[in-house]
Structure 1
Amino acid sequence: MTKDLRNHVLVLVVLLVLWQAVYLFVGDLALRSPLDTARAAFGLVRSEGFGAHLRETATAFATALAIAIVLGVAIGFALGMNRLAGEVGEPLLVSFYSLPKITVYPIVLLIFGIGMPSKVAFGAIHGIMPIAIFTLGALRNVPPVLIRTARVLRLGAWQSAWSVLFPAARPEIFTGLRLGFSLTLIGTLLGEMFASQRGLGFLLMQAIGLHDTDLIMALTSLIVLFAVLASMMLLACDRALRHGS
């Protein structure tokens, strides 16, 4: 067992112990024990109709993440390859990134309507800005000697970006992708909670309305489990890229 894996297991055990302790203090009124939650989650996964909701969320999230990555990296490169554009555009990116995205959700609904397009758009909006900001910062940290080498070789803008800048900036860009992954997932679920008739976010909102604690805990645990596992894999890839760079 590697050191990182041992640390993850230790953190998981501590969280489960704390969860059980809080449950013993609060009781069944507002919480379920880890064992009861695991049983409820297992029953939910096996229930009829869950697969359709899961596919809806997975499709919306995957589409939103792809859009966020493509647009975020493209915006970051467009600003990072031009010093003036970067100096003007970075404050705008940071300002929009700090803006609570829920404030623009009514506009998203007006443009895309209720359903899959609005969920995808809202998820992508959450992920684009951090990816663009990290990409812009990564390009600024590229060693000047690499840029001078590209000029000496008389590489075009696209050749320089693909052959020189992207390989050098890839570890920092991937860090932005990790953050964009998490925020895109949050945005997609929020979109499902407020304007959708299908998906895990819709099920969670429905469970909250019915005060179905078992369903709330089961859905939350499944979403958190997916997010944690995905984060662990992305972190391992990030470290591998930094170690190899």
Structure 2
Amino acid sequence: MRLLPNVILLLVLLALWESLHLAVGPSAMASPWATAARLASLLAQADTWRHIGATASAFAWSLLLACVGGVALGMLLGLNAMAGNVAEPILMNLYALPKVTLYPLVLLCFGLGLGSKVAFGVMHGLIPILLFTMNALRHLPPVYMRSARSLRLAPWQTAWHILLPAIAGEVLAGIRLGFALTLLGVLIGEMFASQKGLGYLAMTAMGAGDIATLLAIALLLTCFAVTGNALLLRVGRHLEHP
């Protein structure tokens, strides 16, 4: 019964997809069944797995750096009220800035390849994690810091044993948002600064007018993103109700 709403939503989306396919024709929109068949065909090719491996490697490094950097900087700014007040509007403006405008600078600094993809992924995912962590600390009851001072804990002990467990739910919410945005950043980086990866494969299919391949890659990425988000949501619920 818990899965019933998800099943209904999936069936509705498939029906809308099929209706759009019938309305515009196969040259503009492949059917769900043709897309699934094309995805199965792609996954049977060794070259596709090399592209998947390149994207997975860049995404893993990007997400790791975004999480570590976002949580660390968020804690530093959250514990310093003046620094947090100064940094918050700057970070919000940077978050609203279209990252594509910074693409030439990223290429100049990191060149073509893994470095630019990771940098672009971190640029997309770090700020949401930082903001969620910083705001969670700023709204934390003062009793946590008083407890740390009474126990005479070192700063790293306070952060690890007191603060992080107290704001774990908010940090994980930021990581959920950063997860999707980091993946988006890596894919955009692959579209313009790489000859490997699913973003490059999608760009190639787009240039060739291969709609079935393009939708198959989109379906694969959607499945990965939904699965990752569901796992993070499950972990978040476990933290709230252990």
TM (normalized to structure 2)?
Answer: 0.97
Measured against aligned partners, the alpha-carbon deviations of 1:185-243 in whole angstroms (never above 9, x if no partner) come to 00000000011111100000001111111111111111111111111111111122122
Paired position in structure 1 for 2:99: 101
Letter of the 2:23 partner, please give it: F
Residue range with higher mean Cα deviation, 144-153 or 114-123: 144-153
The 3-state SS of whatever aligns with 2:216 is helix
Counterpart-to-counterpart distance in 2, 1:35 and 1:193:
26
Say if 2:52 is the partner of 1:48. Answer: no
For residues 36-185 of structure 1, the aligned pairs below 5 Å read 36-185=34-183
Work out whether residues 141 and 169 of structure 1, in 8 Å CA contact, stay in contact via their aligned partners in 2: no
Paired position in structure 2 for 1:18: 16
Counterpart-to-counterpart distance in 2, 1:9 and 1:141:
38
The 3-state SS of whatever aligns with 1:49 is helix
Counterpart-to-counterpart distance in 1, 2:10 and 2:141:
40
Measured against aligned partners, the alpha-carbon deviations of 1:160-204 in whole angstroms (never above 9, x if no partner) come to 111111110010000000000000000000000011111100000
Question: Quick one: percent identity of the two aligned structures?
Answer: 50
Q: Deviation at 1:156?
A: 2.4
TM (normalized to structure 1)?
Answer: 0.95
Paired position in structure 2 for 1:6: 4
Number of aligned residue pairs? 242
Counterpart-to-counterpart distance in 2, 1:15 and 1:43:
23
Counterpart-to-counterpart distance in 1, 2:14 and 2:230:
18
Paired position in structure 1 for 2:211: 213
Counterpart-to-counterpart distance in 2, 1:160 and 1:213:
53
User: C-alpha root-mean-square deviation of aligned residues, in Å?
Assistant: 1.1
Letter of the 2:79 partner, please give it: M
